[in-house]
């Protein structure tokens, strides 16, 4: 399986085209109980504001309402880290999908009450990234 973890993301490359990967991520987020509360087209925004050309880059701000409700009760300032982002971007022609690693984020929040919630968010977003990246003809098992 091609998923690799850096310190703060759950990320993978995919053979899907950028727009197909975006559609797959949306489907998988819904499947895992996340709504998309905001979207940022980074390529369009930086073109408009700075006139620069970048490859496609979309930020999807995902929220699982019951988990967010629970987390904000335990940690009122947590909104500075919400929603949980999943990004799809193209880099040198290759499509990447990445989600924030909620369990790693917890390390800077330092509130043990959030451990179960962070772990649950991590599990679900990891499933989103992994399943969204699968292309029909090339299941991830082929990369193992």
Residue ranges in contact with a second copy by CB under 8 A = 6-9, 11, 35, 37-40, 42, 45-46, 49-50, 52, 54, 57, 59, 61, 63, 65-66, 68-69, 72, 76-77, 79-83, 85-87, 89, 91, 96, 98-100, 104-105, 107-110
Taking only Cα atoms into account, the Rg of the chain, rounded to an integer number of angstroms, comes to 16
Least Cβ distance, residue 104 to a second copy (angstroms): 6
Least Cβ distance, residue 89 to a second copy (angstroms): 7
Q: Which is nearer to a second copy, 80 or 136 (CB)?
A: 80
DSSP three-state, residue 106:
helix
Structure tokens given for 5: 């973890």
Q: Which is nearer to a second copy, 29 or 87 (CB)?
A: 87
Distance CA 56, CA 107 (A): 31
Q: Which is nearer to a second copy, 51 or 137 (CB)?
A: 51
Distance CA 125, CA 122 (A): 5
Task: Single out the residue of 77, 104, 84, 78 nearest to residue 33, CA to CA.
Answer: 84
Q: Which is nearer to a second copy, 35 or 139 (CB)?
A: 35
Edge-first strand order for the sheet with 94-100 is 4-5, 9-14, 94-100, 84-91, 57-63, 35-41
Least Cβ distance, residue 26 to a second copy (angstroms): 16
Do 47 and 131 form a contact (C-beta atoms < 8 A)?
no
Least Cβ distance, residue 137 to a second copy (angstroms): 26
């Amino acid at each position: 399986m091609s998923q690799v973890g850096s310190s703060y993301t759950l990320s993978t490359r995919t053979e899907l085209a950028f727009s197909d990967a975006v559609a797959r991520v949306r489907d998988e987020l819904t499947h895992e109980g996340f709504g998309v509360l905001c979207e940022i087209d980074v390529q369009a925004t930086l073109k408009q504001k700075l006139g620069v050309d970048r490859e496609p880059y979309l930020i999807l701000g995902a929220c699982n309402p019951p988990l967010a409700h629970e987390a904000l009760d335990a940690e009122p300032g947590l909104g500075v880290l919400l929603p949980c982002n999943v990004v799809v971007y193209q880099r040198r022609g290759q499509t990447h999908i990445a989600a924030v690693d909620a369990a790693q984020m917890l390390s800077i929040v330092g509130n043990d009450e959030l451990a179960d919630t962070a772990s649950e968010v991590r599990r679900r977003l990891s499933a989103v990234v992994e399943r969204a990246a699968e292309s029909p003809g090339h299941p991830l098992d082929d990369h193992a």
